[in-house]
Amino acid sequence: MEGHDHLSIVGRPLHRMRPPLGVEVGQYVVRPPLIKPSRLSGRASGKALSDGWAVNFAVGCTHACPFCYASSIWGRGPGAGRRWGDYLFLPSNLGEVIRLTPWGRWAGEEVLMSSTHDPYLPQLAEGARSILSAALPAGVRFCVQTRSPLAARDIPLMARFREQVRLQVSVATMDAGFARLIEPRVATPEARLRLLERAAEAGIRTGAIVAPVFPPVDARMDWRRDLESIVERLAGIGVDVVYGECLHVRGNNLQLLEERGIVVDRGALHSFDRQAGALFHQLLRRYGLKGAWWYEYG
């Protein structure tokens, strides 16, 4: 079985890479099976990212994106009361739970990896490979959702099971300066798109989530041009599916954005959602792409 060799950067195992300064790292125990029901990703939620299943194997995410609403999920447990982006709890028994999960029970089912954290953080990439190595031969299908170019290391594995894998990235903007504000610890948008290019060249199905699309803010006023630049780039890659959604208000994400100098008019989001969704669908038709806008405000 693949997945037991240590992924490394300059000779250091990825799971031993130090987290960003100020991030608390701890451990927790996860119970089998590793695949669990997901209300966030199933088709009933309006988001066709899985058949209602997800694999999450961490609590927290070091990307520290202030818009992220995963933090609102962790009202209890290891992350309770902590600032989003400042903690990452890793399962102390991941190898055991991988062995104890009856993967064949989900043969033919699509599972999202992952719904509450990036599966390809440096501290998690080795675990992601081990999970795929155990689950793919058992017939499990995956939508692998990431913002990390480290997923490229597993393209050969995914390509062996290309009929079971969709590799998908999130891109919120092509504006490098704005990206640094809203995704402070994430690889550049261009690096994520190159990941999709490599996956497509390997014959792996690809997708993108254009999100969150921000309304006009001082740091990036021309949202229309920005949105079209993303869609145009995705069309050049030939991605199989593109989803989009505007900024959602969840937990304290607007407060976290304001702390980074990004002030969003909360009252304008309802009309902006409709406006952005209409433009998004126009762009999909113009560039010959398939996809859908996930409306938040009806």
Of 246, 241, 238, 240, nearest in space to 279 by CA = 246
Question: Model confidence over 18-77: pLDDT tens digits?
Answer: 777 678 889 999 999 999 999 877 776 778 899 999 999 999 888 888 888 776 665 556
Residue 298 lies in a domain: no
Q: Which residues of 97-112 are buried (b: 16+ CB within 10 A; e: fewer)?
A: bbeebebeebeeebbb
Within-domain flag for 59: yes
Residue with tokens 């990390």: 148
Q: Which residue segment(s) compose the domain that 75 sits in?
A: 8-293
**Alpha-carbon dihedral sign for residues 283, 289, 295, 298:** positive
How far is the first Cα of the chain from the last one, in angstroms, to the nearest whole number?
46
pTM of the model: 0.89
Q: How far is it, in rounded angstroms, from Cα 205 to Cα 202?
A: 9
The total domain count for the chain is 1
Residue 78: what pLDDT? 66
Omega prior to 33 cis, within 30 of 0: yes
Tell me the C-alpha distance between 154 and 7, whole Å. 10
E strands, 98-237, are: 110-113, 141-146, 165-171, 205-213
What local confidence, expressed as pLDDT, does residue 198 receive? 98
The answer as to whether 153 is a domain residue is yes
Residue 1 domain flag: no
* 198, part of any domain: yes
Please report whether residue 22 resides in a domain: yes
The two tokens of residue 32 are 């089998």
Q: Kindly report the backbone phi and psi dihedral angles of residue 83, in degrees, each rounded to the nearest multiple of 5, phi listed first.
A: -75, 135
Per the domain annotation, does 2 fall within a domain?
no
pLDDT of residue 68: 83
- Domain CATH number, residue 275: 3.80.30.30
Residue bearing tokens 């560039």: 287
Has residue 216 been placed in a domain? yes
Collect the ranges in the chain with pLDDT lower than 70. Answer: 1-17, 21, 44, 71-81, 298
- 160: tokens are 């062996």
Residue 154 carries which DSSP code?
G
What secondary structure letter does DSSP report for 31?
P
- Name the residue type at position 13: P
Task: Check residue 21 and give its pLDDT.
Answer: 66
Please give the backbone phi and psi of residue 44, each rounded to the nearest 5 degrees, phi first: -65, -25
